[in-house]
Chains A and B, each alone.
Chain A
Amino acid sequence: MLPYERPIITRYNPGITNKFGSRVDYFPFTQIDGVPVKKLIEAYGSPCFVLSERTIRDTYRNALRAFSTRYPKVQFAWSYKTNYLNAVCQVFHQEGAWAEVVSMFEYQKAILNGVPGEQILFNGPDKTADDLRIALQNNSLIHIDHFDELYLLSEIVRDSGKKARVAIRINMDTGVYPQWDRFGFNYENETAWEAVQKIMGQPNMILTGLHCHIGTYMLSTRAYHLAATKLAQLALRIKGQYGHRIAYIDIGGGFASGNTLKGSYLQGSDIIPTMDDYAEAISTALLGSGIPTAELPSLYLEAGRALIDDAGYLLGSVVAIKRLSDGRRATIMDFGVNLLFTSFWYDHRITPAQEFSRHTEDMVVYGPLCMNIDVVRENISLPLLNRGDHVVVHRVGAYNMTQWMQFISMRPNVVMIDCEGGVHLVRARETVDTLNQQEQTPDHLQKIQ
């Protein structure tokens, strides 16, 4: 028997029916990997992030299969910035992924997670001299972003006497707009070739790889095909000019997840290419590039979002329901853009976690912050919710647990459900002490009087 539901008045709409219907979620989402949402909230509070280890592993293996059955040498490197919770990183490392980091702090996390130095790809435009020294010492793969970094590194290797394994990041026209040309060296205007020449002239630098990262949430596989082709051509040119074999081509990431971008007419999961589509585009480009099979470079991938987004859930509760001045319904949740940074980009799918009737209501979903920007969904059709009801936000694994804000409210618990259904707290909720322990108050300000 369904619980009490408040009455609503729905306008009878005799217009033509559209093919999408009014709502997608016909079923409540009451459990994650067999663990009831209600129990999770009871144990870990609301809001609470939940990660599914099973989903991470399945997604990873699916991606690995897509590439490794098409190309002989494939290596994934887990993009730390997407989600650097140690538990998440370790699942990927256990599955065989290396680490891809963009700052010394992430680098240190990877080292602390036990990733061997030579299995860390060091990206990013801002690497200090100290960062480079550490990376050099650990034999990590340094992906050079600009000439100033190249010059700095060349000074460091000259002093240290060690050989640096480097790659250059290359940007290029792959037919997508806007073109990401702020990172790396441009392919078309020969800046990339100039960088290659400079590195090949350095006795203490080994040009190991070529790297590109053509964009994010890429909906076109054609762009990857073009990028891979261009990098392969560059590898062939280096081979021809210097007789030097490039060990790997790093295509970066940017593969889309099933989330729906704001303004998208169709559901995200209906329009995104599958991992197989990306793999097909990239591998056919490399296999058809004219490089002999025996000399094919390894293919490195830095996919982040597409590997983790589906595995993350945000559990929350309804704080209040109110009506706005224009008559629209507004629901206030106990999570907002402070936790769900990605709600700036996506129309997140939100599902109630308990039984409901067939009636729905258009509404705005707000977060709990006293800030006007705190809008989770500008317009969503949800069943009738009451204060205290639980909801589940889907596909929140990527970027939220790294870009979340400590603003107005603290960060909540993050739990992981292992493959056997066991629940583990992987990051405890922050408290006032978390905040205070970093602070130092001068003596004369210790007391109010």
Chain B
Amino acid sequence: MQSQSLISWWQGIRNSYAQLFFSLSPWVGWGSIMASFASPWLGLWGLASVLATNALATLAGQDRQAIKEGMFGFNALLLGLALAYRYHPNPTLAVVWLSAMVLLVLLTVWMSKRLALSGLPALTLPFVGSMWVVVLASERLPGLEPAHHFAAGRFEYSLFGLGMPSILDESEHFGLPLFWSSYFKVLSATFFQPKVATGILLFIALLIHSRIQVLLTLLGFSMAFLSFRYLGADTDSLVYQLAGPNFFFLAIAVGGFYLIPSTASCLTVVALTPVLALIHLALMPVLHRFGLAPYTLSFNLLTILLLFLLKQRSVWHPWLELTGIQYYSPEKALYKHQAGIRWRRESRYARFRLPIWGAWKISQGYDGQHTHLKEWGKALDFVVCDEQGRHFCGQGNQPEDFYGYGKPVVAPLEGYIHRIDNHVYDNEEIGDVDTDRNWGNCVVINHNNGLYSLLAHLKKDSIQVVVGQWVEKGTLIGSCGNSGRSPEPHLHFQIQTTPEVGAKTHAYPMAYFMEYKDGKEQLRCFEVPQEDCLVANIEPDGVLAAALRFKPGMRLKWTCSDTAALAAVVEWRCATDAYNQTYLECMDTGDLMWFSHDGVMFHAFDYEGKRSSLLYRFYLAAYRIFMAEQQGVTIHELIPPIDYGNRFILAIHDLFAPFFSFYPINYRSSFGSLSGAESQDPDIRVIESAVDSNFLNLRGAASNSRFIIGPTGINEWSMSGSDGFVASYNCRILG
């Protein structure tokens, strides 16, 4: 216990340093600590501040996790450094320092919780506030003496022999071009001690942590550099009082921390940098009257304003997407975001099926030219057609000639029968339309999720359900007819958000269906069937669906029959988290794999853990499995490169990842077959999956899996990799 809390304390300190650069990386933590100790005096003040604040926050009963993540410490670090930098060390400073720390904790809690109500971060506002209080009070505190360089009105900081040279001082450049030496200096100016050497140290630490972040700091700095030059401002002033780091912070926060890194986020950084310069230059003279410096205020203001704007968007926007889960890594955020786009989209929708049996043609799709107009546009018309594309046989002058007439219509989703109309005779003449009773005989189903479906133009007296009846998905509702505004027998199907017959339509995708177009058969997931396409439902495979339905509380025990390249016995547990997501957890290593299972598709949508665990292999193998009787379907998917890619290639790829990807990790799964006696068992399914990486058309590491699945679950799982890894596991379900 003792050592655990010590580790927590240490992590709280290290993370406070790393948090300055929006990171929790030990590398950045260590790099920052070392950089801050370039001037040991300043470094000591900083460290003491972090310790004091973390202790105060702990005493004040604040969230241990937040303290551990350095949420209090990073403001304290800045405050400690700023105080030590500005004032001459003496007992008065010590007292003021302690008061400032108390104030900082108060401000941190209040600001972060208040702003969190609007979903906004407090950033370094507590530091700015506390610092101002000290500076304003210092006029009445004669004991608080400004440091020598401040007294001289110019940077000539020489405490303990550490000089504070000008940014343009050639002697400190290591022969680097002006841009680079300035960049390194401004980077280390975060710790009030602009030196090229410490800048390089920080740069390396950041580079190990995140390539995207380094790219963003370069982008932010070059824009700042250019802005200052073109605006005619003094580039030298970038190193004063955190002026320059403002630009780094903005670039990191906007470019890749609060937003998913992308071309758009980088362009936003480019666009906002001159704005930041403007704010900063505007604040400086105003605050100067009170003897204050803006510190990071300009970055705080601009970032919060931007985030507020983005959160106030009234419609969903594909650009500038906000980070959902904060991984403290732009790379991870980006890759996980890209991989999760499909899952996030699919998880939103109810699983509608087509309200038919067999293959029907969409004779009129969304916003069709005949009757799907304006507010009633998001509807589908279904007809049955033959190989030649005709909807009828014979003369086609009576409803009975039409293939679709009298064919069953089924419930697209479970729900209560809300309303039935069954008083309209079918139009006997083809081409007649009954505009008075537009919808003809129809059924409205209330799906109890805010959605209603309308099935219209049904055959008179064919309706098999009664009002108030609960129907399961696929229950027979009635027969396709020719009543109402129906020139030829067809089924009209629409989803709406209100229960009235003839309400406005609501665009909504069908969960899974097969599409036949130009002789090709294709699985469509969460799409709207297109006009003129032949579509059919998919039939779930009961054996597969049951075998992969891991229920919370279930435990799976894997035993390796041959070589134990991984552990010989592995046990997993299935559970559900607070967000209603079901996951598998490895009992030994604590690795986690989240998955969804809707009866048709098994999707292992996220993994957190080591690459050496069996669960990781399972995540790769069962990334997306189609559990239906349509055995010809092959699933193609991209696995996030961070979960599979070669780390060196990935490090290069990271630099380009916000803009484009050249390192696809391909996943595919399909039905396989068995040879021998077992192949003839109708209850045995074989699923084969493969993952391989592809770097500039060079085939990289590959990993293949093969599941033999029966009614009792996964019987056998064999895998092989291009790295020579071969293993075979058997599964037993405990409880």
- Which A residues lie at the B interface, using CB under 8 A? 58, 61-62, 64-65, 67-74, 116-118, 137-140, 165, 274, 276, 280, 283, 287, 293-294
Contacts and interface: CB of A to CB of B under 8 A. Distances in A.
Contacts of B472: 293-294
Given A118-B682, A139-B680, A165-B682, A69 B407 contact: yes
Interface string B652-673: 0000000000000000000001
B677 A137 contact: yes
Contacts of B682: 118, 139, 165
A62 B680 contact: no
A101 to B, nearest CB: 15
B679 A70 contact: no
Contact of A287 (B404, B408, B474, B681): B408
B387 A62 contact: yes
Contacts of A67: 358
Given A72-B474, A276-B403, A293-B472, A116 B679 contact: yes
17 contacts: A62-B386, A65-B359, A67-B358, A70-B357, A71-B408, A72-B357, A72-B410, A72-B539, A74-B358, A116-B680, A117-B679, A138-B680, A165-B682, A274-B393, A276-B403, A283-B408, A293-B475
Nearest to B477: A293
Scoring B408, B536, B673 by chain A CB atoms within 10 A of each residue's CB, the highest score goes to B408
A58 B680 contact: no
Contacts of B357: 68-72
Interface in B393-409: 393, 403-404, 406-408
Contacts of A118: 680-682
B384 interface: yes
Nearest to A163: B681
Contact of B384 (A65, A137, A287, A294): A65
Contacts of A58: 387
Of all A-B residue pairs in the complex, the 10 with the closest CB atoms, nearest first, are A68-B358, A69-B358, A117-B680, A139-B680, A118-B682, A138-B680, A293-B475, A69-B407, A72-B357, A58-B387
B33 interface: no
Contacts of B679: 116-117
Contacts of B407: 69-70
B360 interface: yes
Nearest to B388: A58
A70 B358 CA distance: 7
B414 to A, nearest CB: 11
Given A69-B358, A73-B539, A287-B476, 19 more contacts: A62-B386, A62-B387, A64-B358, A65-B358, A65-B359, A65-B386, A68-B536, A69-B356, A69-B407, A71-B408, A116-B679, A117-B680, A118-B681, A118-B682, A138-B680, A280-B406, A283-B408, A293-B472, A294-B474
A84 B614 CA distance: 50
Contacts of A65: 358-359, 384, 386, 403
B544 to A, nearest CB: 16
Contacts, number: 68
Interface of B: 356-360, 384, 386-387, 393, 403-404, 406-408, 410, 472, 474-476, 536, 539, 673, 677, 679-682
Nearest to A64: B358
B332 to A, nearest CB: 43
B490 to A, nearest CB: 13
Given A118-B681, A276-B403, A287-B408, A69 B359 contact: yes
A68 B474 contact: no
Nearest to B394: A274
A137 B679 CA distance: 10
B352 to A, nearest CB: 16
B519 to A, nearest CB: 10
Contacts of B539: 72-73
Contacts of A68: 357-359, 536
Contact of A293 (B384, B393, B476): B476
A189 to B, nearest CB: 33
A288 to B, nearest CB: 9
Contacts of B387: 58, 61-62
A72 to B, nearest CB: 5
A165 B673 CA distance: 20
Contacts of B536: 68
Contacts of B680: 116-118, 137-140
Contacts of A73: 539
A140 B682 CA distance: 9
Contacts of A116: 673, 679-680
Contacts of A274: 393
A65 B390 CA distance: 13
Nearest to A298: B539
Scoring A62, A276, A280 by chain B CB atoms within 10 A of each residue's CB, the highest score goes to A276
Nearest to A67: B358
A106 B407 CA distance: 36
A117 B675 CA distance: 11
Nearest to A141: B682
A3 B314 CA distance: 83
A446 B656 CA distance: 86
Nearest to A283: B408
Nearest to A72: B357
Contacts of A137: 677, 680
B517 to A, nearest CB: 16
Given A65-B386, A276-B403, A70 B359 contact: no
A287 B477 CA distance: 11
B386 A293 contact: no
Scoring A69, A137, A293 by chain B CB atoms within 10 A of each residue's CB, the highest score goes to A69
Nearest to A165: B682
A329 to B, nearest CB: 37
B526 to A, nearest CB: 22
Contacts of A294: 472, 474-475
A114 B358 CA distance: 26
Given A62-B386, A70-B357, A293 B410 contact: yes
B656 to A, nearest CB: 45
Contacts of A140: 680
Contacts of B410: 72, 293
A61 B387 CA distance: 8
Contacts of A139: 680-682
A280 B474 CA distance: 19
A116 B673 CA distance: 10
B94 to A, nearest CB: 77
Contacts of B673: 116
Contacts of A276: 403
A274 B403 CA distance: 12
Nearest to A62: B386
Nearest to B629: A73
A140 B679 CA distance: 11
Contacts of B403: 65, 69, 276
A249 B680 CA distance: 21
B194 to A, nearest CB: 73
A73 to B, nearest CB: 7
B403 to A, nearest CB: 7
B712 to A, nearest CB: 14
B476 A69 contact: no
Contacts of B474: 72, 293-294
B363 to A, nearest CB: 14
A81 B359 CA distance: 29
A294 B403 CA distance: 25
A278 to B, nearest CB: 14
